[in-house]
A and B are shown apart, each in its own frame.
Chain A
Amino acid sequence: MQISRADSVRIGLLSVVLIGLSMGPYWADRGTMRLLIEAFYFLALAQLWNLLAGYSGLISVGQQAFVGLGGYLLFTLTMFAGLPVLLALPLAGILTGILAWPTALVAFRLSGPYFAIGTWVIAEVYRLSFAQISSLGGGSGISLPTDIVRSMADGRSARESLTYWIALAIMLAVILGIWALMRSRVGLGLGAIRDNEEAATSIGVRTTRLKFSVFVGVAAMTGMIGALIFLQKLRITPEAAFSVNDWSVLVIFIVVIGGIGSLEGPILGCILFFVLREFLADLGSWYMIILGVISVGIMLLEPRGLWGMLNRKRSLTLFPIARRSPKLKSLNQDTP
């Protein structure tokens, strides 16, 4: 395979960032690492929501249902089933995916804005249900017992490094997975569904099965991220686990300001979000108001977000997914 100059720049840039990030525990202090872990899982959640809303047209505001489920499943599997944390983590994701199946059966009876509201309602039902389970602490929540935490790795710094690498690995798996998916025939089918579902089904795209699979797959990954989030926080409450603010509103903010329907957009959005939070977090409720004003402003200026602004000509790309014709590619290279 021939590698163009643009490709080698791209690969070089990505490898520098990747190597830098994977060495994190060796150069970052505890506070920075905690911040990076948070950035990794927010970016992973944003990419997953982008896959649902930006690539498949499924606008859900109920992804907190799966974050919460994953978190609670991790606590249940480690505390009551006695499973090791590293096994419980992926298992929590798989079980969340299985529970997403009946959830999707209900949610998919609705479409458009009703689907969005429906997913939110379902997430609230999960929140209220978990508040009823007294063995998981009911409404006031529960902490992960120290012996389970200690069993993960020797010492706090080893545990934090492990959590860091898991978060990084999940984020990379999500991004690369979505990239591969969008380059495949499945990605083409999803794009068709988003653009026009009726036209897609009449040219033979199995719209319902495809949307269903994406929803369940995204839920499973979201559940695994949820498990990781509450493994890091060491404490879970129904309010935190099923928070629409944290796991839907902020995630949607990241995707919308960054640029919906691209892989690069959520990365930009995530960086901007964390910068804003560092400077504005002390402002209390003004912080949320400012975030709201920024997202409205960006939507008015450029519906394709920051990435759309930077990339008006659609010529830049970090993750090329369009199926370019080889002939045209060589034409591009000929022109200086």
Chain B
Amino acid sequence: MSQLLKIEDLDAFYGDFQALFEISFEMAEAETVALVGANGAGKSTFLKCLTGLLPTRGQRILYRGNNIAGVPAFKIARQGIAMSPEGRRLFPSLSVKENLMLGANVGRKGQWDLAAVQALFPILEEKRDIPATLLSGGQQQMVAIGRALMSNPALLLLDEVSLGLAPVIVRDIYAALPKIRTGGTAVLLVEQDIGMAMQVSDRMYCFQEGHVSLQGVSADMTRDMISTAYFGREKEVQ
């Protein structure tokens, strides 16, 4: 499979604080990769680097062979990286449909349009004229994912999809993942629920304090390996 994303030695800073240290990361086209790690491990920071929301000028983030480090966020979105951000970040003054339509702003053609997204999450058609933030948490998450899909991304980033949602709703949302994958969209998902992450992904990365602490094929991983990588040595000491 051809390479979609290749990152070597990525560092990221918030002012003087270094959040990521020499991250090396790879993804193939149409692959689903899970990124796990404790709070503050740098998962969301990593996604911000990919989408251009954090400065990465002068580094190397190869996306389909082109370096996108330092490219403005709106251009990266137009090249096909879309994110459903942590906390969903919907536009409260706009309706569900308007939120979705904004995703099509980048003008990329493909299988995802309003009808396709509404077919994926039928509730979004029913609620289309309601202000997006009046929906339930799970429905809002569907809007956020739908909005990202509307741009027909080659790489879909899902940040903490299950955050604050009931397990049954999380399952509903993840049920949509196979349909997203069949279109050839690669998915990088950040997830606190390790079981879910292992189940849906091809490969996994675990971050710990800004470093990659574990990576490999999801099917080969055990919970022990992950919890060691997740919590570091302290776990073994206890």
Give the residue among A189, A194, A201, A202 with the most B Cβ atoms within 10 A.
A202
Is A207 in contact with chain B by the CB < 8 A criterion? yes
What are the nearest 5 A-B pairs in CB distance?
A: A204-B106, A204-B77, A199-B89, A195-B91, A201-B73
A194 to B92, CA, bound (A): 10
| 30 A–B contacts from the bound complex (CB under 8 Å) | A185-B105, A188-B101, A191-B91, A191-B98, A195-B91, A195-B92, A195-B94, A198-B53, A199-B89, A199-B90, A201-B53, A201-B72, A201-B74, A201-B77, A202-B74, A202-B77, A202-B83, A202-B85, A203-B148, A203-B151, A204-B74, A204-B77, A204-B106, A205-B105, A322-B95, A323-B97, A323-B98, A323-B101, A325-B97, A328-B128
In the complex the two chains form, is B129's CB within 8 Å of A192's CB? Answer: no
A296 to B27, CA, bound (A): 55
A202 to B95, CA, bound (A): 19
In the complex the two chains form, is A188's CB within 8 Å of B74's CB? Answer: no
A189 to B94, CA, bound (A): 10
With both beta carbons as reference points, the residue of chain B lying nearest to A328 in the complex is identified as: B129
A322 to B97, CA, bound (A): 10
Is A109 in contact with chain B by the CB < 8 A criterion? no
Residues from chain A with a CB closer than 8 A to the CB of B90 are 195-196, 199
In the complex the two chains form, is A192's CB within 8 Å of B147's CB? Answer: no
With both beta carbons as reference points, the residue of chain B lying nearest to A206 in the complex is identified as: B74
A323 to B102, CA, bound (A): 12
Residues from chain A with a CB closer than 8 A to the CB of B51 are 202
Number of interface residues of A (CB under 8 A): 24
With both beta carbons as reference points, the residue of chain A lying nearest to B82 in the complex is identified as: A203
Contact with A along B121-133 (1 / 0, CB 8 A): 0000000110000
A24 to B130, CA, bound (A): 42
Residues from chain A with a CB closer than 8 A to the CB of B211 are none
Is A308 in contact with chain B by the CB < 8 A criterion? no
In the complex the two chains form, is B106's CB within 8 Å of A203's CB? Answer: yes
In the complex the two chains form, is A203's CB within 8 Å of B147's CB? Answer: yes
Residues from chain A with a CB closer than 8 A to the CB of B53 are 198, 201-202
A33 to B238, CA, bound (A): 85
Is B66 in contact with chain A by the CB < 8 A criterion? no
Give the Cβ gap from A185 to chain B, nearest Cβ, in Å: 7
Residues from chain B with a CB closer than 8 A to the CB of A198 are 53, 89
Residues from chain A with a CB closer than 8 A to the CB of B60 are none
Interface residues of B in 74-120 (CB under 8 A from A): 74, 77-78, 82-83, 85, 89-95, 97-98, 101-103, 105-107
Please name 16 further chain A to chain B contacts, defined as beta carbons within 8 Å, in addition to the given A204-B74, A207-B74, sorted by A numbering: A188-B101, A188-B105, A191-B94, A192-B94, A195-B90, A201-B77, A202-B53, A202-B85, A203-B82, A203-B106, A204-B107, A322-B95, A323-B101, A324-B129, A325-B128, A325-B129
Residues from chain B with a CB closer than 8 A to the CB of A192 are 91, 94, 102
Give the Cβ gap from B160 to chain A, nearest Cβ, in Å: 15
Is A261 in contact with chain B by the CB < 8 A criterion? yes
A86 to B147, CA, bound (A): 48
A185 to B105, CA, bound (A): 8
Interface residues of B in 10-68 (CB under 8 A from A): 51-53
With both beta carbons as reference points, the residue of chain B lying nearest to A55 in the complex is identified as: B93
> Given contacts A189-B102, A196-B89, A198-B53, is CB(A204)–CB(B78) below 8 Å?
yes
Contact with B along A183-223 (1 / 0, CB 8 A): 00100110110111011111111110000000000000000
Give the Cβ gap from A335 to chain B, nearest Cβ, in Å: 15
Residues from chain A with a CB closer than 8 A to the CB of B89 are 196, 198-199
Residues from chain A with a CB closer than 8 A to the CB of B74 are 201-202, 204-207
A228 to B74, CA, bound (A): 39
A198 to B89, CA, bound (A): 9
Give the residue among A203, A206, A323, A325 with the most B Cβ atoms within 10 A.
A203
Residues from chain A with a CB closer than 8 A to the CB of B93 are 191, 194-195, 261
Interface residues of A in 241-281 (CB under 8 A from B): 261
With both beta carbons as reference points, the residue of chain A lying nearest to B47 in the complex is identified as: A202
A207 to B93, CA, bound (A): 17
A88 to B4, CA, bound (A): 57
Give the residue among B52, B74, B95, B101 with the most A Cβ atoms within 10 A.
B74
Residues from chain B with a CB closer than 8 A to the CB of A199 are 85, 89-91
Residues from chain B with a CB closer than 8 A to the CB of A205 are 74, 102, 105
